[in-house]
Amino acid sequence: MTQSNPLRVGLIGAAGRWGPRAHVPALKGVPEAELYAVCTAHADTAQAAADKFGVTRAYGSDKALNADARVEAVAVAVRVPAHYELCKNGLEAGKHVFCEWPLGGNTKDAEELAALARQKNLRTMVGLQRRGSPAYLYMRELIQQGYVGEVLAVNMMLMNSGVLTRTSDRTWQRDVTLGANTLTITFAHVFDAMCMVVGELTELSALVSTQVPQWFESDTKKYVDVTSPDNIVVQGRLENGAVVNAYCGVHPYHGSGHRLEIYGRDGALAMIGGGEGGEERSRKVVGGHKDDKVLQELPVPERFKWVPEAVRNNSPAYDVGQMWVKFAEAIRTGSDIEPGLPDFDHAVRRHRMLDAIVRASQTAQRQKVELV
| Contact between residue 84 and residue 109 where contact means Cβ atoms under 8 Å apart | yes
In 10 A of CB 169, how many CB atoms? 9
What pLDDT digit, counting tens, does each position of 172-226 carry? 999 999 999 999 999 999 999 999 999 999 999 999 999 999 999 999 999 999 9
> Measured between alpha carbons, how far is 265 from 97 in angstroms, rounded to an integer?
42
Domain shared by 249 and 319, yes or no = no
Domain shared by 182 and 83, yes or no = no
Residue 353 has pLDDT above 70, yes or no: yes
What pLDDT digit, counting tens, does each position of 39-49 carry? 999 999 999 99
Domain shared by 107 and 161, yes or no = no
Domain shared by 151 and 265, yes or no = yes
Domain shared by 159 and 221, yes or no = yes
pLDDT band at 278 (very low <50, low <70, confident <90, very high): confident
Q: Would you state the pLDDT for residue 324?
A: 98
What pLDDT digit, counting tens, does each position of 57-94 carry? 999 999 999 999 999 999 999 999 999 999 999 999 99
1 located within any domain: no
Q: In degrees rounded to 5, what are phi and psi of residue 239?
A: -60, -30
Name the strand (E) or helix (H) holding 320: helix 315-333
214 located within any domain: yes
14 located within any domain: yes
How do beta strands 96-99 and 33-39 pair? unpaired
Residue 371 has pLDDT above 80, yes or no: no
Return the amino acid letter for 116. L
Report how far apart the first and last C-alpha atoms of the chain are (Å, whole number): 32
pLDDT band at 2 (very low <50, low <70, confident <90, very high): very low
Q: Which of 287, 293, 333, 361 is nearest to 123 (CA)?
A: 333
- Residue % of the chain over a pLDDT of 70: 99
> Measured between alpha carbons, how far is 69 from 73 in angstroms, rounded to an integer?
10
202 located within any domain: yes
CATH code for the domain in which residue 299 is found? 3.30.360.10
Residue 222 CA to its chain's centroid (Å): 31
Q: What is the mean pLDDT of residues 104-129?
A: 97
CATH code for the domain in which residue 59 is found? 3.40.50.720
DSSP 45-98: HHHHHHHHHT-SEEESSHHHHHT-TT--EEEE-S-GGGHHHHHHHHHHTT-EEE
Domain shared by 230 and 291, yes or no = yes
> Measured between alpha carbons, how far is 192 from 313 in angstroms, rounded to an integer?
24
Domain shared by 275 and 334, yes or no = no
What pLDDT digit, counting tens, does each position of 129-153 carry? 999 999 999 999 999 999 999 999 9
> Mean pLDDT across the chain, nearest whole number?
95
Domain shared by 176 and 279, yes or no = yes
356 located within any domain: yes
Q: In 3-state terms, what secondary structure has residue 21?
A: helix
> Measured between alpha carbons, how far is 159 from 9 in angstroms, rounded to an integer?
35
74 located within any domain: yes
Domain shared by 248 and 317, yes or no = no
Q: What is the mean pLDDT of residues 285-308?
A: 96
Number of domains in the chain: 2
Residue 215 lies in domain: 131-303+350-368
Q: Would you state the pLDDT for residue 355?
A: 97
In 10 A of CB 293, how many CB atoms? 6
Q: Which of 168, 262, 243 is nearest to 205 (CA)?
A: 243
Domain shared by 281 and 152, yes or no = yes
Q: What is the mean pLDDT of residues 18-34?
A: 97
pLDDT band at 22 (very low <50, low <70, confident <90, very high): very high
Domain shared by 296 and 163, yes or no = yes
118 located within any domain: yes
2 located within any domain: no
Domain shared by 314 and 358, yes or no = no
Alpha-carbon distance values, 196 to 132, 158, 353, 357 (Å):
10, 17, 14, 18
pLDDT band at 128 (very low <50, low <70, confident <90, very high): very high
| Contact between residue 7 and residue 34 where contact means Cβ atoms under 8 Å apart | yes
Q: Would you state the pLDDT for residue 3?
A: 56
